[in-house]
Amino acid sequence: MALSTKPASAQDRSNLIPYSSRLKEGRALAQDVWSIFNVVNLPADCINLGQGYMNFSPPKWVTEAAQEALHTVAPNHYSHPRGRIRLREAIKGFYDPLFGRNLDVESEILVTSGANEGQYSVFTAFLEQGDEVIMFEPFFDQYLPSVTFNGGKPVYVPLHPPKTEGKDSSDDWSLDLDELRRAITPRTKMIIVNTPHNPVGKVFRRDELEGIAALAEEFNLLVMSDEVYDCLVFDGKEHVRIATLPGMWDRTVTVGSAGKAFAATGWRVGWLIGPPSIIQPTLAASTRIVFCTNSPLQEAAAAGLEQARERKFFEIQRDEYSERRKILTDAFDQLGLKYTLPEGSYFVLLDISKVDFPDDYPFPPSVLGRGRDFRACWFIALEVGVSSIPVSEKQFYCEEHANIGEAYGRFAFCKDVETLKAAAERFQGLKKFLKQ
């Protein structure tokens, strides 16, 4: 092979090493919606209801436990890859009654570096090249790369948006079980269920979960039940855990997150609950991916779960979120805009098809050439000063189904009351841009 005669300094050295094709397959290189609708690109005073993290602190009694852990020797060092025993005991104490089981802290609970890493480790532990993983659209954006990085193939089954004319509830987003059945092939290995759902807010009903469970049983599928918003279910709706349906414990792994539970998304502490046949292989994968999860914040999460019941923390927090949700939905009602009232999680899908913007509005190139929702959300951010996330496209839908999401912008209400009230006030400025 002829060696280059150019002096090294004259060669283009900006891309010497080719990167793996899995980054492309996992859509990890595409400019994602978060980087377009980023604070850096939007006006400095824009109220950020786009990203799903809180603008308030975790409870003081939880952060105090974190501080205490930092001042103690052991929690500054490696934890057991299964997680610190105090946290595993606390998970057991909290979840035993919810699962109706006597969970074994050695083999049925695994602490992970956020829900994301837990899910990634399940994929690593169970997927063979080409195995298919069914996810319902819109889907949480991390599933797709996590599946493809591990050789899996995502298969999409859309939730169908409400066709009603009046007020929509997230319950009106429907799952067609025949469609789900048709999506199952001999290569299907897994179904991901996300309840309460991001971004729809749907809390799957018992009959829907029974339908999914029957298919999982018939085709011997692993079910990953992403329940990171399990503490945010509103209006007395029942949160059914698919793992508790008859026969489902043996094939289900349930995913939780301290980030969502205790307003601590940056802590990266999550957990998996399931039978030893799922937890043990996942532990083997997780040990080789991260070895263990950060130790002091596991102690803090443990304190959170230990005290939550006595303090009625989740009940109080749910009522606070309910108030936050109302501030936002009242503002949409005042504008006469349609939206999906979420029964769970902290997102509202607003129907933005009535937002009327001029074709020649100075949209940036990153927004042009994408779904109408990108332009509508950009326009709202610039003209009204409240940012959101468009729902079509890569983050939530496969290409074929992106049009379903094009009618919606996702607004997060995990923000303090003052911020939401200020956003609600600004929203009234949208009136003059609405089609009649």
Ligand X SMILES: Cc1ncc(COP(=O)(O)O)c(C=O)c1O
Q: How far is the CB of 199 from ligand X (least distance, A)?
A: 8
As a whole number of angstroms, the distance between CA 239 and CA 244 comes to: 11
Strands 339-341 and 408-412: unpaired
- CB nearer to ligand X: give 116 or 340: 116
Shortest Å, Cβ 369 to ligand X: 27
Nearest to 118 by CA among 280, 286, 236: 286
CA atoms within 13 A on the CB side of 399: 1
108 contacts ligand X (rule: CB under 6 A) = no
Q: Does 198 engage in binding with ligand X (CB under 6 A)?
A: yes
Q: According to the binding rule CB under 6 A, does residue 52 interact with ligand X?
A: yes
Query: In whole angstroms, what is the distance from residue 133 CA to residue 127 CA?
Result: 9
Residue 30 tokens, joined: 């595409």
The single residue among 259, 274, 342, 390 that binds ligand X, judged by CB under 6 A, is: 259
Residue 61 one-letter amino acid: W
Looking at the Cβ atoms of 269 and 352, the one nearer to ligand X is: 269
Cβ atoms within 10 Å, residue 115 = 24
201 scored as a contact of ligand X (CB under 6 A): no
Tokens, residue 161: 């948006």
Instruction: Return the residue matching tokens 């205490």.
Output: 68
Q: Which helix (H) or strand (E) holds 257?
A: strand 252-257
Question: Under the criterion CB under 6 A, does residue 265 sit at the interface with ligand X?
Answer: yes
Binding mask 141-180 for ligand X (x = CB under 6 A): ----------------------------------------
**Cβ-closest position to ligand X:** 114
406 binds ligand X (CB under 6 A): no
- Find the part of the chain contacting ligand X (CB under 6 A) among 98-106, 113-121, 274-282, 400-408: 113-121
Q: Does 270 bind ligand X (CB under 6 A)?
A: yes
Nearest approach, Cβ of residue 358 and ligand X (Å): 34
Q: Is 111 helix (H, G, I), strand (E, B) or coil?
A: strand
Residues shown for the chain: 436
**Per-residue contact string for residues 291-330; x = within reach of ligand X by CB under 6 A:** ----------------------------------------
- Among 54, 103, 147, 228, interactor with ligand X by CB under 6 A: 228
Residue type, 79: S
> Considering the rule CB under 6 A, would residue 395 count as an interface residue with ligand X?
no
Give whichever of 57 and 334 is closer to ligand X, judged by the CB atom. 57
Q: How far apart are CA 201 and CA 203, in angstroms?
A: 6
Q: Would you tell me how many other CB atoms lie within 10 Å of the CB of residue 204?
A: 27
Q: Where are the alpha helices (DSSP H) in 223-265?
A: 258-261
Whichever of 91 and 355 has its CB closer to ligand X, that residue is 91
Q: How far is the CB of 333 from ligand X (least distance, A)?
A: 26
DSSP 159: P
Give how many residues touch ligand X by CB under 6 A. 13
| Cβ 26 to ligand X shortest distance, Å | 16
Nearest one of 361, 346, 368 to 201, comparing CA atoms = 346
* 286 touches ligand X (CB under 6 A): no
Residue where the block lists tokens 């008859």: 246
Binding mask 114-143 toward ligand X (x if CB under 6 A, else -) reads xxx-----------------------x---
Amino acid type, 67: Q
* Among the listed residues 148, 252, 257, 286, the single contact to ligand X using CB under 6 A: 257
Tell the smallest beta-carbon distance from residue 270 to ligand X (Å). 4
How far apart CA 115 and CA 134 sit, in angstroms, is 18
265: buried, middle or exposed (CB in 10 Å: 19+, 13-18, 0-12)? middle
From the list 21-29, 109-117, 173-181, 405-413, the region that binds ligand X by CB under 6 A is: 109-117
The answer to the question of residue 194 lying near ligand X (CB under 6 A) is yes
Residues that bind ligand X (CB under 6 A): 52, 114-116, 140, 194, 198, 226, 228, 257, 259, 265, 270
